[in-house]
Structure 1
């Protein structure tokens, strides 16, 4: 198979929540595949640092800081892209948060914060990107789901609800926009070594349980999402639509 299928040269990719964690690994992976990348985060200083580090590594990178749950800020950001002549060819909806708390102790405000960050933001940003992609008849949208798109665990109900929603939001995007040349797919990471999971990594009981469940017998690395991200962002996936690829060490396959 020609490597040109996976070449992202000449394409511009916006990755939300990419100043650190999984998003940072993905945005760097897209840059290495040739894309011009736009780093996003809520902290302008952190975004600036990430952009500087990527440029120092020889990558074409810019940054835009906004809160993905702030709809006016999202709309303004895309208006800024329009004014600058920047066409977003690839959107990775990665921004997300976690909150571990029993359902009966959750406030409605806590519920809304998790759902709005992990699900509603993907709708808002995906909508703004699609408005520009549809007239161009091309575009790639990749939403970041989770094992929680399929399975539930105690204390993460709003996260599970949001990530389950991501799976079907992705399908909705695909069925509405496929005829306009847009492919909308998702990636479902398993248990990855990130700041969000630091408390779980350090919990011996949880770690032992997890190792008993994962066929690969280890946590995943953020950079192990890059292959799936590049595939779904590239011409190699032009007839793939409405799908979710799980990168989980085989956990969903195990009984």
Structure 2
């Protein structure tokens, strides 16, 4: 009987998502990507999905289960950073930040929980220091959206932990992709996610992990 896990990466064509996909694939897992573009630069299949569209998310998870299998873990990386003075932030700018960072998370996690059911599994989100610790000047929309993501993760963990579904979030500072500077390397975030999905991480639930690297 195969023990290969099915790991779903939402936003799998992005800079962090692609590194997560590659890392889990290297570890022997079956990796399925979800992204607006069905193209991929890696060796994993991608199901086309707009994470901000309810019906698109539902169709993607239906296709995921019918073509592959029920996911053991779903890692949602879709998001956007932006800053502007509070009094100059338009409603459209505010709405975009909430839609990409928070609404997309709600839609993806809701479908993930529905499909995981009694099988259980792990959900992981990417929040930020601004969302987990303290909002930042000039980043009201981003801070509010990422703060909402923290509460969403905690609520899912509280509601479904007894059913075997765990939910966590990583709260990085600046994410670095091999370059030098203050922040946390993407490779370290991959390692953190691998731990949370591993057997060693099964006893954890509702964790908001600060990942600041060297600044």
1:108: which partner in 2?
91
Output the CA distance in 1 between the equivalents of 2:139 and 2:83.
5
CA offsets, 1:8-56, max 9 Å, x none? x511111111212111111211212221111222233xxx232xxx32x
Partner residue, 1:93: 76
Q: Which has the higher contact order (CA 8 A, sep 6+)?
A: 1
Deviation, 1:85, is 4.5
Q: Secondary structure at the match of 1:49?
A: coil
Counterpart CA distance in 1 for 2:59 and 2:34 is 14
Distance in 2 (CA, whole Å) between partners of 1:187 and 1:83 is: 30
Question: Does residue 175 of structure 1 match 2:158?
Answer: yes
Q: Give the distance between the partners of 1:18 and 1:82, measured in 2 at CA.
A: 18
3-state SS, counterpart of residue 226 of structure 1: helix
For 1:3-82, what aligned pairs fall within 5 Å after superposition? 10-44=4-38, 48-50=39-41, 54-55=42-43, 61-82=44-65
Describe the shift of the 1:85–1:62 C-alpha distance in structure 2 as closer, same or farther (beyond 3 A): closer
Residue 74 of structure 1: CA displacement? 0.2
Displaced runs of 4+ in structure 1, greater than 4 A?
none
Matching residue within 124, 128, 135 for 1:142: 124
Give distance in 2, aligned partners of 1:242 and 1:161. Answer: 19
Structure 1 runs not aligned, ≥5 long: 1-8, 56-60, 202-216
Q: How does 1:236-247 map to 2 (within 5 A)?
A: 236-247=200-211
CA root-mean-square deviation: 2.0
Q: Secondary structure at the match of 2:184?
A: coil
Q: Could you say which structure has the higher helix fraction?
A: 1
Contact 1:148 1:163 in 2 (8 A): yes
**Unaligned residue ranges in structure 2 (runs of 5+):** none
**Higher Rg of the two aligned structures:** 1
**Aligned residue among 178, 183, 195 for 1:231:** 195
Normalising by structure 2, report the TM-score.
Answer: 0.91
**TM-score after normalising by structure 1:** 0.77
Corresponding residue for residue 101 of structure 2 = 118
C-alpha distance in structure 2 between counterparts of 1:167 and 1:28, whole Å: 26
- Structure 1 or 2: larger strand share? 2
Distance across 1 between alignment mates of 2:66 and 2:32: 15
